[in-house]
Amino acid sequence: MVTQIYSSFHPKRSSTAGQIREFVRQLIIDGKLRLGEKLPAVRELADQWGTYGPTVHQALLGLIKEGVLEAYRGKGFYVSEQRLPLKDIGVYYSDEALLGPEVLYPSAYYRVLKEELLGRGYRVHLWIDPRSPKERRQPWPRLVEACRKREIQGLIARGGTSNEFPWLLKLPIPVAIESPDRLSQGVAFDLRDFSQKALKALIAQGCPRVGLITLTALHAVPLDGKETYSAAVPEVFRQEAEKLGCETCRNWIQTLTHASFPKPSLSSHEAFGREKFLSLWSQSHRPQGIVVYPSSIVPGVIQGAVSAHVQVPQELKLVLHRSSEVILQSAFPATWLLSSDQDKSRALIEQIERQSKGESPHQILVPFKTDAGVTGESIQR
C-alpha cells in the first residue's frame, strides 16, 4: 500500500529515474522513512507516480549502490540499516580566501583538524567552494554528487550559519558544522562559559564594574533584505553580569556596528580593538575590569592601553581571549581564557562519528580554559 508520503511526488517525464532516486533519498534524510522500513512494491509506486515499473526499479537499484537501500528476493526494498564505514571525510570551506595568510587563523585551524583526522585513520578531502555568497546558498553540485556516490562518508563545514548554507544540513551523509547557531549538527565554543569564567576572574580581583570589547556583537547577516543575528557575546555577557551582581552599562560594552565592521584581516581587527579600547577609556566613568574577545582584537586593545598610558593592573584588570595556535605579546599582566582548536576539532569529529553510528545529533559546546599565570611576556600556544 502506498502511503501519503509518496503521493505528493509527481515526476516529470525527463530523467524520471533520477527524480525518483532523489525523492526517496530525501525521504530517508528527512527521517520520513526509518532505518529498516519496507518500501511499497515497485508496481504500486509506478502506478502512483504514473511511470513504468522498470524505471522505478532502476532508480531503487541506484540507491542500493549508494548503500541507502537493501533488496531481498521476494520481499522487496528496505531502507538500509547498515551504514557505510567512515573512511573519507570532507572539510568544506566557503571561500578560498579563508585559507589565506592574511585572514585570521583558518589555515592553522585546518592543519590542527587535518592532523586530528589523519591521526584517527581517516582520509581527508578539502572542498573549497569558489562561488559567490549568493550562489553558496544553493547546493554545490560537485559536493552533493560526491556525497551521493559516497566518495566521502562525512563532512565537516568550517564556519557559517544555517541561513548561509541551508543545503549542507540536507546532505545524505553525517555533517558537522562549526556554527554559532543552535544546530543539532553544530559545534561551537561555549560563549556563556566564557562570560562566566571571565566575570568570575574579575570579581576575584575585586572588580565589580566590568566592560567588554568584542568583535561578535549582534553579528548581522543580511539575508533577503532582512537581518538575522547569531548568538552574540554582549547579550550573554550582560545576562551573566547581572546574575553575578556586576555593574556594567551600554557604554562599557564596545561592540560591532555596521560602521565599525572590519575587513577580514589581522591588521583591521587590531585597528578595531585599539579604536574600541580608546573609545571606552575616554569615558569619565570607567569599568575596573575589561574582557576582550576574540584573540584577533587583543593586540589592538593592548596597543590602545599602552598609548593611553593605562596602569595595568593598578587602574585596570584585563581578561583576554587567546587561541591555542596563535602567538601574542602582552605588555601587561592579564588573565587569559584559552580556546583550543584541538578540542574543537575533536568535537567536530565526535559529531560525525555519532551520526555515523546512527545516534541522533545534538549541539556540542566546547568550554574555555583559564590561565591566570601569564604576565607581560611573549606567549606562544
pLDDT digits (tens, 9 = 90+) for 331-370: 889 999 999 999 999 999 999 998 887 777 889 999 999 8
Note whether 55 and 108 are same-domain residues: no
What is the maximum span of the chain, computed from C-alpha positions, in angstroms? Answer: 84
Question: What is the overall mean pLDDT for the chain?
Answer: 83
Whole-angstrom distance, CA of residue 106 vs CA of residue 112: 10
Note whether 61 and 127 are same-domain residues: no
**pLDDT for 377:** 42
Per-residue pLDDT at 81 exceeds 80: no
List, for residues 136-164, the tens digit of each pLDDT value.
889 999 999 898 778 999 999 986 666 77
Residue with cell 570589547: 213
* pLDDT confidence tier of residue 381, bands split at 50, 70 and 90: very low
Q: What is the mean pLDDT of residues 72-98?
A: 81
**pLDDT for 291:** 98
Do 191 and 171 form a contact (C-beta atoms < 8 A)? no
- Among the candidates 47, 79, 111, a domain finishes at 79
DSSP β-bridge partners for residue 88:
123
* pLDDT confidence tier of residue 109, bands split at 50, 70 and 90: confident
**pLDDT for 371:** 82
Note whether 233 and 157 are same-domain residues: no
- Domain span at residue 298 reads 190-339+369-380
Helical axes 106-119 vs 341-356, angle rounded to 10°: 50
Structurally, the chain folds into a number of domains equal to 3
- Among the candidates 79, 106, 140, a domain finishes at 79
**pLDDT for 76:** 93
Whole-angstrom distance, CA of residue 347 vs CA of residue 258: 32
Note whether 362 and 375 are same-domain residues: no
Note whether 308 and 180 are same-domain residues: no
